[in-house]
Amino acid sequence: MADNARAKRLADLIREVVAQKLQRGIKDPRLGSHVTITDTRVTGDLREATVFYTVYGDDEERKAAAAGLESAKGILRSEVGRAAGVKFTPTLAFVADALPDNARTIESLLDRARQSDEKVREASAGAAYAGEADPYRKPGAEDATDETDDSTE
């Protein structure tokens, strides 16, 4: 087993090599400038690497980019092997990153919460307190009420 620092360095190198090769070396129109490599993870034994990517576009462009990455997998792996200089070049698996979808979901939930807060703020605009404005007892005020109660007896 390799140490975590070595796996991290290899993952960073794979991310850089794959991104650079996609930008300059691969002439596949499905992999235009709208594919971004977001993260890379390597297993502890340095045999398998997972490359996370995002695609700017609709579902058709995402499917086309996935097919383009699968077809370019061999070229990308050979470039990684040439740059890494390790005994065994890790196999590459491309996975669409769910981060943008998660961010959109969180953003929509926050928008819904803001709208709900605005409705509550509008409903409470002319409202008055159910009791006193300050419902908490003050230490000095409590002693004063006790003394007045004793004098009435």
**pLDDT tens-digit readout, 83-123:** 888 888 899 999 988 877 788 899 999 999 999 999 988 88
How confident is residue 59, by pLDDT bands cut at 50, 70 and 90? confident
CA distance 89 to 50: 13
Checking if the pLDDT of 2 tops 70, the result is no
| Whole-number Cα distances in Å, 74 to 24, 81, 139, 140 | 16, 11, 78, 81
Q: Are 17 and 83 in contact (CB under 8 A)?
A: yes
Q: So what's the pLDDT on residue 62?
A: 86
Burial state string for 59-82 with b = 16 or more CB within 10 A and e = fewer than 16: eeebebbbebbeebeeebbebbee
Please provide the size of the chain in residues: 153
Q: Whole-structure pTM over 0.95, yes or no?
A: no
- Between residues 60 and 140, the one the model is more confident about: 60
Structure tokens belonging to residue 10: 């290899």
Checking if the pLDDT of 72 tops 60, the result is yes
Q: Name the one residue in this structure whose structure tokens are 């006193």.
A: 132
Parallel/antiparallel/unpaired status of strands 48-55 and 91-96: parallel
